[in-house]
Amino acid sequence: MTSSAEIGEPPRTLSVFRRALILVTVTLGATLYVTTIMVASTVLPQMQGAMSATPDEISWTMTFNILATAVVTPMTGWLVARFGQRAVMEWCVFGFTAATFFCGAAQSLESLVFWRIMQGGIGAPVIPLAQTILLAAFPPRQHGMVTGVYGMGIVLGPILGPTFGGLLAELYSWRWAFYMIVPIGFVSVLGLRFALDKDRPTGRVALDWTGFLSLSVAVACVQLVLSRGQRLDWFDSPEIVIETFLAVLAFYIFIAHSLTARQPFLNLKLLLNRDYAVGLALVGIFGMLNFTPMVLLPPLLQQHAGFPDALIGQVVGSRGIGAMLGFFVAIFLPRSIPRTIMMVGFGVQVVSGLWLMSLDLNVDTRVLMINGIIQGFAVGTIWVPLTVLTFSSLSSRYLAEATAVFHLIRNIGASLFISICVAEIVRATGLNYGRMTELISPFNEVLTMPWALGAWSVESVSGLARLSKEITRQSAMIGYINAFGIYTAVSAAAIPLLLMTGFFRRARAPLT
C-alpha cells in the first residue's frame, strides 16, 4: 500500500485564515470521536443495568469499539488514494455521527455493541487523516505548535463530553449522552466541506486484501481471546484454543506476505527508520495507559463506591483539564530534549498509578479529580514530543500510511490492555470472594468474639446477604488495585525503553 500513501497534499501557499479554518474544523471532527469514547466510559454502569449485562460483557462496548478502530485505521491511506481527503473526512464524520445516534437508540446489548463497532470502524480514519491534513497544511517549523493546539482542542471532548454526558444521563438516561453529539457532528460535516479543498484521488489503487484480512483476523482473534478467556477458563476451552491458533496463523501470513508482496497493505520498510520504530513501541505503551483508567473507574465508582453519574463525569472529565495543561506546557518546552520530557511524563504516570493503588472504597471525589488531572497532564506532555518527533525523519509522502500505523498501534495497545485489566478484575474478584467467604462460618471462633463482626450479623439471612455484598465490594476493590498495579508497571516500563535508545538524539534523513 505504499503508493496509496502518496496522497494529494494541501498546497503550501494556503493563507493564514485558511490554515486556521482547517485547524478548527479538522480538530472539531477529531474531537467528536474522542468525545464518544469518554462519554461511553462515563455511562457504562447505566448501560450495564439497562442491558442486564455483566461487567466483562458491557466492557465489549469499549473494547470492540477500539478493536474496530484498530482494524480499519490502516485503510486510511488506501481510502484517501481511492476517494480523496475531503470525501473520506466528510463521510467518515457523517457516518460516525449517524452510528452515534443508533448507539443511543439501541435496545439490546447486541445492537449496542454492533453500533459501537460501526462507530469505531467508520470513524477510524478521522484521527490519522486529521493529523495528516494538519501536518501537510502547515510547514514543519509549525508542527509542534499545530500538534499542541490540536491536542488542546481534542481534550475539550474529554472535559465537556463526560461532564455533560454524565449530567444528562442522571437527569434523563444514558441515551442522551450519545444524542447530544449528533447535532454537533452534522455541523462538523458542513464545516469540513467549506474548509477543505476538493482534492483528486490518486487513482484506483488496489487494496491488498491478503494483508488487510490477515491483520484483521489476527487482531480480532487476540481481542476475543483476552475478552472471553477469563469466562471460558482460558485454554481449557476449545474456542480459546481455536482463536489463539487463528491469531498466530493470521499474523504469520501477514508478516510473510508483507515482506514479499510488491505493494503490501502496510509497508514494513518504514520500521527501518529507528525514530519511527521506537515511536511505535512507545505509542503502544501510551495507548495502554491512555484509555484504561477511563474504562475502569466508572464501574468501580458507581457499582461499589456509590457515585452518581454526574460526579463520575466530573472525575473522567478532570483528565481533560490536565491534558489541556500538559499540551499547553509541551508547546513551549524545548524540542531538543524530547526524551527528558517523555521520561517526566511517564514518571508522572507512575506516580498517578501508585496513588490509585492506595485508594479504597471511601475515596473522596477531590482526590480522584486531582489524580485525573495528574494523569491528563502526563498524557499532554508525552503526546506532543512523541507525535512530532516520531515523524520528524519521515518523508511527507509516507505520512498517511505512517500515521495510520501509528494510531493502529495505539488503538491495539488500548484494546488489549483494557481486556487484560478487565480479565484481572474478574479473576481477582471471584478468587478473593471465595477466600473471604470461607471465613464466614459457624466454625470460625473469631466470629464469636463481640468485636469481630461489629455491625455485621451472621444470625439472619438478611445479615448474611449484607455481609456477602460487602465481601463482593472488597473483593472487587482488590481486583481493581491489581489492575492499577499493572497500569503502574507498564508506565514504568516505558522509562528504560527511552534510556536504552538514542531516541531522537540527532536529525536523520527522511526515508525514501
Measured distance CA(294)–CA(257) in Å, rounded: 37
Q: What is the pLDDT of residue 504?
A: 44
Angle at 248 between CA 413 and CA 76, to 5 degrees: 50
Q: What are phi and psi of 137, to 5 degrees?
A: -80, -25
Nearest by Cα to 109 from 16, 47, 24: 47
pLDDT digit string (tens) for 113-163?
999 999 988 988 888 888 788 877 777 777 767 777 777 776 667 667 777
- What count of residues does the chain have? 512
Q: What are phi and psi of 230, to 5 degrees?
A: -65, -40
Q: Domain residues of the chain, as ranges?
A: 3-208+263-430+474-499, 209-262
- Looking up cell 512523541 gives 386
User: Class for domain 3-208+263-430+474-499, per CATH?
Assistant: mainly alpha
- State how far the alpha carbon of 351 is from the alpha carbons of 272, 341, 491, in Å: 34, 16, 9
Is residue 346 a contact partner of residue 491, using CB atoms and an 8 Å limit? yes
Residue 441 C-alpha from the chain's centroid: 44
Average pLDDT, the chain: 80
Measured distance CA(508)–CA(274) in Å, rounded: 9
Lowest-confidence pick of 17-31, 87-101, 296-310, 434-448: 434-448
CB atoms within 10 A of CB 141: 7
- Looking up cell 477510524 gives 124
pLDDT digit string (tens) for 35-75?
877 677 778 778 888 888 877 678 778 778 877 877 788 78
In three-state secondary structure terms, 255 is: helix
Measured distance CA(271)–CA(167) in Å, rounded: 45
Q: What is the pLDDT of residue 334?
A: 66
Helix (H) or strand (E) holding 46: helix 44-51
The pTM for the full model equals 0.75
* Confidence grade of residue 6 (pLDDT, cut at 50, 70, 90): very low
Which residues share a beta bridge with 511? 394
Measured distance CA(338)–CA(392) in Å, rounded: 12
Q: What is the pLDDT of residue 147?
A: 74
Q: What is the pLDDT of residue 426?
A: 86
* DSSP code string of 256-293: HHHHH-SS-SS-GGGGGSHHHHHHHHHHHHHHHHHHHH
Question: Which segments of 391-509 does DSSP mark as H helices, in order?
Answer: 399-437, 450-453, 461-499
Measured distance CA(228)–CA(239) in Å, rounded: 9
Q: Rounded to the nearest 10 degrees, what angle do helices 126-137 and 16-42 cross at?
A: 160
Measured distance CA(508)–CA(492) in Å, rounded: 28
Nearest by Cα to 412 from 68, 2, 16: 68
**What is the C-alpha end-to-end distance of the chain, expressed in Å?**
15
